[in-house]
Structure 1
Amino acid sequence: MRNTRKIILSIAGAATLAVSASLAALAWGHGYTSDPPSRSALCASGEVTNCGAISYEPQSVEGPKGFPAAGPADGELCSGGNAPFAELDDPRGGNWPTTSVNAGNRSFTWTMTARHSTATFDYYITKDSYDPTQPLTRDDLVLTPIASFAMGGAQPDHTMTHNVNLPQRSGQHLIFSVWVIADTANAFYSCIDVDFGGDGGGPDPTDPPTTPGGDGTGCDAGAWSSSAVYNSGDEVTYGGAAYRASWWTTGETPGTTGEWGVWRQTSAC
């Protein structure tokens, strides 16, 4: 009887570990388009403000896969159907900063905070009739991808770059990029505002960009510790500056993780 109980407890423990490992993989398996910068990336870098939660976790725009037949609802495509990230669906009067592009080959880079077994990376573009002052819907998009990159279940690198052949367009448009996961029911979504033949535009004049300055924001936070665990939104000070964590991290030194890394400087102290 005692041996049977031990076996049952061992099985239960193994099952708990398996579930925990699965949840950890899901928590880390995130990513976003960083070049050209997606709306998520622009919010995370501080170039666009008043973005809400997405500023701290640009990699988390995860929603049901199956686009265009399924997936997020129209008007919620840029947020992946996530209400906490609804700021990404707000067209801001068509004033999201744009990246200047031309027809022909253009590289697109995804940044992953970790790697998921991948089905495809798909890229869609808006029609000539696209109105950038309105929330994105399926009617705005050509629903056949302009590029699709099959991975066959392989895990991507921490950065993935694709060469996409952009069609002829004029003026402001949107590239809708989708990272389709192979072993879950979800995908990750990124909206990239571009301007064919434009000068790159600028931030919404009602939401001016912020840059790390000397106003002391975050300077009352505790000192960074290499052994501590930090979650999204946690603030620390290190090396005469204040930083905010964009996602879970430990052991990563502030000021060394790069523009798209976990630590974002909020102020000089």
Structure 2
Amino acid sequence: MALTPLPANGRSLLARVSATLLVVGALMASVSTGLAEAYGTPTDPPSRTYGCWQRWNTNPLDPTMPQADPMCRRLWQADPSGRWYTEGVYRDGAAGPVPNGRLCSAGQARYAALDEPGGWRAAVRGRLSTVVVTDRPRLGADHLRVYLTKQGYDATTSPLGWNHLDLVVTTGRITNVDQVSFTVNALDRTGRHVIYSVWQAPGSDRAYYSCTDVVFQ
């Protein structure tokens, strides 16, 4: 039996439904992958991307988010399909060093909201504090470098630049573990700061970057 073509309005509705299903499928994939593939990402205290994922992945359209967590909302609005995807914030060596003012996004336009100054949620920690970095797929790293912002830097008003940072931790090769923990000594730092981490993929020129907001007491 011959099929009867859909009328124009029916085809339009079908196209809209199909497009909606594709978008929903992409969003669901980005949520599940963001957790499963957390690659070289600070999870305690959480990086900006991981913290947003923790708080909002189950309900990214929560109407309370704009007031309760405006920085995460901006990140969501900038690119809903790639929201809070911890493995996505990387840079390849061929692209050159991460530019000043774009450190938190690794210079990627889709994550530019990560570089915006503002009231990012910050974990309260003592001056001697443990940081946990998670590598769920256990792919490892050639090294991990961790930086702390200098006293006087204000993440609520200024984008992060290399001139704001001091290198405080450098590890050797990391293999076959799903978490790495280390102690950060804030020394004379007090108040709000940023922990900046660089996870160098093994045998590759690709590195993964994270900004983590803390308040030292």
TM bracket (short chain): 0.5 to 0.7
TM-score (norm 2): 0.66
| Aligned with residue 175 of structure 1, among 189, 195, 206 | 195
Deviating beyond 4 angstroms after TM superposition, the runs of 4 or more aligned structure 1 residues are none
Partner of 2:121: 97
- Structure 1's unaligned 5+ residue stretches are 1-27, 198-269
Count of aligned pairs: 160
Query: What does the per-residue CA deviation read over 1:76-95, in whole Å, with 9 as the maximum and x for residues that have no partner?
Result: 10011111111111112xx1
1:63 aligns with 2:91: yes
SS in structure 1 at match of 2:73: coil
Question: Are positions 1:75 and 2:101 aligned together?
Answer: yes
Partner of 2:33: none
Whether 1:135 and 2:144 are equivalent positions in the alignment is no
CA gap 1:115/1:65 in 2 versus in 1, 3 angstroms: farther
Is 1:125 the counterpart of 2:168? The answer is no
Distance 1:111 1:125 in 2: 19
Sort the Cα spacing of 1:77 and 1:170 in 2 relative to 1 into closer, same or farther, 3 A: same
1:19 alignment counterpart: none
> Secondary structure at 1:51's aligned position in 2?
helix
- SS of the residue aligned with 2:87? helix
Q: 1:170 to 1:163 in 2, by over 3 A?
A: closer
Q: Deviations over 1:43-95 (max 9, x none)?
A: 212263331345341222111359xxx62111110011111111111112xx1
Indicate the structure whose relative CO is greater, using CA pairs within 8 Å and at least 6 residues apart. Answer: 2
Amino acid across the alignment from 1:163: T
Gaps of 5+ in 2: 1-36, 57-68
| 1:43 maps onto 2:35 in alignment | no
Q: Which structure carries more helix by proportion? A: 2
Determine which of 125, 134, 141 is the counterpart of 1:111: 134
* Richer in strand (by share): 1
